[in-house]
């Protein structure tokens, strides 16, 4: 286990490493319980460093021998690394260590998954492979030799020579150790090729277990689309002769961008029509793009230290979102991302885990791969682009790639290229990186009629002025007791009473705490459409009448804000239902009917319109409005609203369902997927009227997973799922990824009072496996998404979660710590629930040998 005394790492303590590395040679003699790793590293003093201490990270390693310039040495070894006397000037370090990949359940470093060796080194896993300066600002070229009797042996870069039982790889691009990778196993490849715009022929391989070859085609096509897109939009070409992707079943994250050898969670790359849903296909396309795009934003230009994580992650999420918007639908992508931001990043930024996009302290860096670093980090790039314009953004990026290629950089480097390219001062903008919390933006409107309009003399010259006054505040938190105003790009358009756009979208730049903007020369009092496209990641606190929301839902010319108006109406009606026992609002139901049945609108967009704010989002809204959210009341309000929606749309639903069926062989393209999404949203409502008859028919006829799973969901919700649950299992029990869905759906759709019992039943099922992160998340992660089930008043949900996190922590700290976030909102609820949550958290914290990962998370979550 890790250190007992938690150590805090500070951004302000950064110093460069005392040595540079000319080259690294590694030899792996693979054996499940006793792999030998031989390293030969050429060190030279770093002229830029003042401290010449020679410290190499190393954890859970058995040091066999060490030599400097060929002579045996005896270093001082601790739990975290070693120090050693070294000569002045350059020297060669050699070491041999032994590791135990077969017993590595943490899935960091070198481990074995289903008989296959693979690695995960980001952020600090390389130190579990050999002694090394495991920090991103130490970059080196790697040559790797793998010895084993397995047929496929891979590492980074280009293949070198190979023979019976061995293979060599050489990566010509200097890289930090976190991008190292090695894979060996009985794998087969789905192969293809790509010719770059520079004329380089690249061999593409997707390596999988033999039975999975039929699930590779889509991932490969997505890779080629990503390569083309990065050339066309960012001018970035691939830079090696091969690009390999490997699918692995046991993986803590989604995927990893190791240079030339991406390693993917099999759930994030394998797909066939029969086994993967439209949502799976879309996510796979996005993750393939994301990891591929890291080749430039992350690998060629990397991070100086882990505080700069958003430099690669925020930027790469922004790039993959641009890609998805380009190859699919821009408004649909934007709306989906905002739903996700509100569901995951807002609660984080408004709770005990709040931290700046660039944190300035951490105990365990794995705990900072957060929605804030990723999603808010991407939002910040979006704002930067809006402020400097498309042209300024392109110039700044070009300068960034040109100037910093091959370097380990900081956020300061990133901002400087935009200042230089555009002449804009980004000092205040930088607060987006250093201040935590979600700004609240309130707005008031004033309308001033021109004097002659008042007199009614001449309608044609009767021009008035609309003034919007904005106020921004960010509540203080543990990171900053006082928040300074941030630069907010606010996109605004004005509509007249007919819904005609009288002022097209303009970007207002707010820099003060309070600021007014006037629009002159208006014929009549307009209806403003504010924060179009969600132009800044803020909570827009706007006093708005139901009528105005309904008007915008019917007429807004900005597709995001049109959706947002509907979302606002749904939120308003749910809040009134929960707090006043009101009936579902007519304005919402009428407005929704009109939009959903408007055939001129994209089906995917209409499907999004049918969504409502989730239970957790609603709990947050209620909490902020001064109420104590009651999970059972929220559950009931959702049920009532969905039933009322079904009744309202009763006549339209059969037509909506029929018109959006997709005939012919399944294709995961955006248009077909959008139709299925709308038809299946309609099916959800139909199920409330016909007790599952249509859903059963769809289940029986389904020839693809999207249709099958949607029908299965409906049957579970209608409590008619017993037969389908058995049939689904019998059909798919050999497919791990499909069985994950089987676990998840039963958990998510369990009635609140049955959720704990369902979790107990599923965690004792023979296919439950605590060591497989996908299965654990499919079961316990899904349990936490059952809001009223997890937040049972008797605390049984919290206790069950705590029990499982205690078990998992001993095996896999990283996945345990990530799942602790399900407790981050515990203080929203009533005293009884809070008491139960606190007890569950304290029990977890008291576990002997608790990992540093989990300990940091629980300590932060418990802090007032």
Binding mask 304-333 for Zn ion (x = CB under 5 A): ---------x--x-----------------
Q: Name the β-bridge partners of 140.
A: 175
**C-alpha–C-alpha distance, residues 714 and 732, integer Å:** 19
Span from 255-263, 344-352, 724-732, 816-824 in contact with ligand BES (CB under 6 A) = 255-263
CB-CB contact of 252 with 812 (8 Å): yes
**The only residue of 212, 230, 250, 313 in contact with ligand BES, by rule CB under 6 A:** 313
DSSP code string of 1-12: ---SS---EEGG
Is residue 662 a contact residue for ligand BES (CB under 6 A)?
Answer: no
Structure tokens at 222: 């997505």
Contacts with ligand BES in 118-157 (CB under 6 A)? 122-123
From the list Zn ion, ligand BES, none, pick the one residue 94 interacts with, judged by a Cβ distance below 5 to 8 Å according to partner type: none
Span from 41-49, 110-118, 289-297, 379-387 in contact with ligand BES (CB under 6 A) = 289-297
Cβ neighbour number for residue 26 with a 10 Å cutoff: 21
User: Among candidates 14, 56, 121, which has minimal Cα distance to 814?
Assistant: 121
Nearest approach, Cβ of residue 414 and ligand BES (Å): 17
CB-nearer residue toward ligand BES: 312 or 549 = 312
**The only residue of 154, 287, 311, 724 in contact with ligand BES, by rule CB under 6 A:** 287
CB-nearer residue toward ligand BES: 291 or 556 = 291
From the list ligand BES, Zn ion, none, pick the one residue 45 interacts with, judged by a Cβ distance below 5 to 8 Å according to partner type: none
From the list ligand BES, Zn ion, none, pick the one residue 122 interacts with, judged by a Cβ distance below 5 to 8 Å according to partner type: ligand BES
**C-alpha–C-alpha distance, residues 95 and 56, integer Å:** 11
Q: Convert 84-103 to b/e letters by CB count within 10 Å (16 or more is b).
A: bebeeeebebbbbbebbbbe
Binding mask 75-114 for ligand BES (x = CB under 6 A): ----------------------------------------
CB-nearer residue toward ligand BES: 328 or 642 = 328
CB-nearer residue toward ligand BES: 300 or 792 = 300
Reduced to 3 states, what is the DSSP secondary structure of residue 484?
Answer: coil
Is residue 290 a contact residue for ligand BES (CB under 6 A)?
Answer: yes
Binding mask 292-311 for ligand BES (x = CB under 6 A): --x-----------------
Sole residue written with tokens 């499909």: 738
**C-alpha–C-alpha distance, residues 800 and 848, integer Å:** 19
CB-nearer residue toward Zn ion: 66 or 223 = 223
Nearest approach, Cβ of residue 268 and ligand BES (Å): 7
**C-alpha–C-alpha distance, residues 63 and 79, integer Å:** 12
**C-alpha–C-alpha distance, residues 157 and 221, integer Å:** 22
Name the maximum alpha-carbon separation found in the chain: 100
Nearest approach, Cβ of residue 121 and ligand BES (Å): 8
Cβ neighbour number for residue 661 with a 10 Å cutoff: 11
Is residue 611 a contact residue for ligand BES (CB under 6 A)?
Answer: no
Span from 290-298, 433-441, 641-649, 676-684 in contact with ligand BES (CB under 6 A) = 290-298
Strands 261-265 and 242-248, sheet pairing: parallel
Residues in contact with ligand BES, total (CB under 6 A)?
A: 16
Question: Catalytic pick from 108, 257, 282, 291?
Answer: 291
Sole residue written with tokens 């392109």: 394
CB-nearer residue toward Zn ion: 254 or 654 = 254
Rounded to 5 degrees, φ, ψ at 240 are: -135, 170
Sole residue written with tokens 């002449």: 423
From the list Zn ion, ligand BES, none, pick the one residue 139 interacts with, judged by a Cβ distance below 5 to 8 Å according to partner type: none
HSE toward the beta carbon, residue 389, CA cutoff 13 A: 8
Span from 209-217, 253-261, 394-402, 456-464 in contact with ligand BES (CB under 6 A) = 253-261
Is residue 254 a contact residue for ligand BES (CB under 6 A)?
Answer: yes
DSSP code string of 208-250: E-GGGGGG-HHHHHHHHHHHHHHHHHH-----SSEEEEEEESS
Sole residue written with tokens 């309009």: 453
Is residue 257 a contact residue for ligand BES (CB under 6 A)?
Answer: yes
72 is a catalytic site residue: no
CB-nearer residue toward Zn ion: 374 or 823 = 374
Nearest approach, Cβ of residue 267 and Zn ion (Å): 16
**Dihedral Cα 42, 47, 49, 53, nearest 10 deg:** 40
Q: Which residues contact 230 (CB under 8 A, 6 or more apart)?
A: 236, 237, 292, 293, 296, 319
Span from 249-257, 527-535, 541-549, 759-767 in contact with ligand BES (CB under 6 A) = 249-257
Helix residue ranges per DSSP H, 328-479: 330-340, 346-349, 371, 377-404, 411-422, 431-434, 451-455
Nearest approach, Cβ of residue 776 and ligand BES (Å): 15
**C-alpha–C-alpha distance, residues 712 and 726, integer Å:** 11
Q: Convert 768-797 to b/e letters by CB count within 10 Å (16 or more is b).
A: bebebbbbbbbbbbbbbbbbbbbbbbebbb
Is residue 291 a contact residue for ligand BES (CB under 6 A)?
Answer: yes
From the list Zn ion, ligand BES, none, pick the one residue 253 interacts with, judged by a Cβ distance below 5 to 8 Å according to partner type: ligand BES
**The only residue of 107, 150, 240, 255 in contact with ligand BES, by rule CB under 6 A:** 255
Span from 248-256, 466-474, 493-501, 676-684 in contact with ligand BES (CB under 6 A) = 248-256
Sole residue written with tokens 């001129």: 600
Is residue 45 a contact residue for ligand BES (CB under 6 A)?
Answer: no
Is residue 256 a contact residue for ligand BES (CB under 6 A)?
Answer: yes
Nearest approach, Cβ of residue 155 and ligand BES (Å): 18
Distances in Å between the Cα of 666 and the Cα atoms of 10, 258, 285, 699, 779 are 52, 33, 17, 16, 29
Is residue 853 a contact residue for ligand BES (CB under 6 A)?
Answer: no
Nearest approach, Cβ of residue 853 and ligand BES (Å): 11
Reduced to 3 states, what is the DSSP secondary structure of residue 35?
Answer: strand
Nearest approach, Cβ of residue 373 and Zn ion (Å): 10
From the list ligand BES, Zn ion, none, pick the one residue 759 interacts with, judged by a Cβ distance below 5 to 8 Å according to partner type: none
CB-nearer residue toward ligand BES: 362 or 551 = 362
CB-nearer residue toward ligand BES: 370 or 802 = 370
Give the binding site for ligand BES (CB under 6 A).
122-123, 253-257, 286-287, 290-291, 294, 313, 317, 369, 374
Give the binding site for Zn ion (CB under 5 A).
313, 316
* Residues designated catalytic: 291
């Amino acid at each position: 286990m890790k250190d007992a005394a938690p150590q805090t790492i500070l951004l302000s303590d950064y110093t460069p490493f005392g040595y540079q590395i000319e080259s690294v040679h590694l030899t792996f003699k693979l054996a499940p319980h006793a792999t030998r790793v031989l390293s030969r590293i050429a060190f030279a003093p770093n002229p830029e460093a003042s401290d010449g201490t020679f410290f190499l990270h190393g954890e859970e390693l058995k040091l066999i021998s060490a030599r400097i310039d060929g002579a045996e040495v005896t270093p001082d070894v601790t739990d975290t690394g070693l120090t050693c006397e070294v000569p002045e000037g350059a020297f060669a370090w050699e070491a041999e260590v032994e590791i135990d990949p077969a017993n590595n359940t943490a899935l960091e470093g070198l481990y074995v998954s289903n008989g296959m060796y693979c690695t995960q080194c980001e952020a600090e896993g390389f130190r579990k492979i050999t002694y090394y300066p495991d920090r991103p600002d130490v970059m080196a070229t790697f040559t790797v030799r793998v010895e084993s009797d397995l047929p496929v042996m891979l590492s980074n870069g280009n293949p070198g020579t190979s023979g019976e039982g061995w293979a060599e790889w050489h990566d010509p691009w200097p890289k930090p150790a976190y991008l190292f990778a090695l894979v060996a196993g009985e794998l087969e490849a789905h192969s293809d090729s790509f010719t770059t715009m520079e004329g380089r022929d690249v061999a593409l391989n997707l390596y999988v277990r033999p039975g999975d070859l039929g699930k590779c085609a889509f991932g490969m096509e997505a890779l080629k689309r990503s390569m083309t897109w990065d050339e066309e939009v960012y001018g970035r070409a691939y830079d090696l002769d091969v690009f390999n992707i490997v699918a692995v079943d046991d993986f803590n994250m989604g995927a990893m961008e190791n240079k030339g050898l991406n390693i993917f969670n099999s759930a994030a790359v394998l797909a066939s029509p029969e086994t993967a849903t439209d949502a799976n296909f879309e996510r796979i396309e996005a993750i393939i793009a994301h990891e591929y795009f890291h080749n430039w934003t992350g690998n060629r230009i990397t991070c100086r230290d882990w505080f700069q994580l958003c430099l690669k992650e925020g930027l790469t999420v922004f790039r993959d979102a641009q890609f998805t918007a380009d190859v699919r639908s821009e408004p649909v992508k934007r709306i989906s991302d905002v739903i996700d931001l509100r569901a995951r990043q807002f609660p984080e930024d408004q709770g005990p885990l709040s931290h700046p996009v660039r944190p300035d302290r951490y105990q365990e860096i794995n705990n900072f791969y957060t929605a804030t670093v990723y999603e808010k980090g991407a939002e910040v790039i979006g704002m930067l682009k809006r402020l400097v314009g498309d042209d300024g953004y392109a110039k700044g990026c070009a300068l960034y790639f040109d100037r910093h290629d091959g370097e380990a950089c900081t956020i300061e480097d990133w901002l400087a290229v935009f200042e230089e390219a555009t002449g804009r001062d980004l000092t205040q903008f930088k607060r987006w990186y250093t201040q935590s919390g979600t700004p609240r933006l309130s707005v008031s409107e004033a309308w001033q009629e021109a004097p002659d309009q008042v007199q009614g003399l001449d309608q044609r010259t009767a021009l008035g002025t609309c003034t919007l006054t904005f106020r921004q505040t960010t509540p203080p938190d543990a990171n900053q007791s006082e928040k300074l105003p941030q630069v907010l790009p606010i996109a605004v358009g004005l509509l007249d009473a007919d819904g005609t756009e009288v002022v097209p979208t303009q970007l207002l730049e707010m820099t003060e705490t309070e600021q007014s903007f006037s629009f002159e020369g208006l014929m009549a009092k307009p209806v403003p459409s504010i924060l179009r496209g969600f132009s800044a990641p803020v909570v827009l606190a706007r006093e708005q009448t139901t009528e105005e929301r309904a008007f915008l839902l019917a007429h807004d010319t900005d597709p995001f804000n049109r959706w947002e108006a509907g979302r606002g109406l749904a939120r308003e009606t749910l809040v009134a239902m929960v707090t006043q026992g009101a009936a579902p609002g007519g304005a919402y139901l009428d407005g929704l009917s009109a939009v959903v049945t408007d055939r001129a609108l994209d089906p995917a967009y209409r499907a999004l319109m049918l969504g409502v704010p989730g239970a957790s989002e609603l709990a947050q809204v209620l909490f902020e409005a001064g109420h104590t959210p009651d999970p059972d009341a929220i559950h009931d309000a959702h049920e009532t609203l969905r039933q009322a929606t079904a009744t309202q749309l009763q006549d339209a639903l059969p037509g909506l369902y029929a018109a959006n069926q997709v005939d012919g062989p399944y294709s995961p393209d955006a248009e077909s997927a959008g139709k299925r999404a709308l038809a299946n949203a309609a099916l959800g409502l139909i199920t409330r009227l016909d007790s599952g008859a249509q859903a059963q028919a769809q289940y029986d006829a389904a020839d693809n997973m999207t249709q099958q799973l949607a029908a299965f969901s409906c049957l579970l919700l209608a409590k008619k799922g017993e037969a389908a649950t058995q049939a689904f299992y019998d059909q798919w029990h050999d497919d791990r990824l499909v069985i994950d869905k089987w676990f998840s759906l039963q958990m998510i759709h369990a009635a609140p009072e049955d959720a704990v019992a369902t979790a107990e039943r599923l965690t004792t099922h023979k296919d439950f496996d605590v060591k497989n992160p996908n299965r654990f998340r499919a079961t316990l992660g899904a349990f936490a998404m059952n809001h009223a089930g997890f937040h049972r008043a008797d605390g049984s949900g919290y206790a069950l979660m705590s029990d499982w996190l205690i078990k998992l922590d001993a095996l896999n700290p990283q996945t345990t710590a990530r799942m602790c976030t399900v407790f981050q909102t515990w203080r929203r609820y009533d005293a009884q629930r809070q008491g139960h949550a606190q007890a569950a958290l304290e029990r977890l914290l008291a576990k002997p040998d608790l990992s540093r990962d989990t300990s940091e998370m629980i300590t932060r979550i418990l802090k007032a």
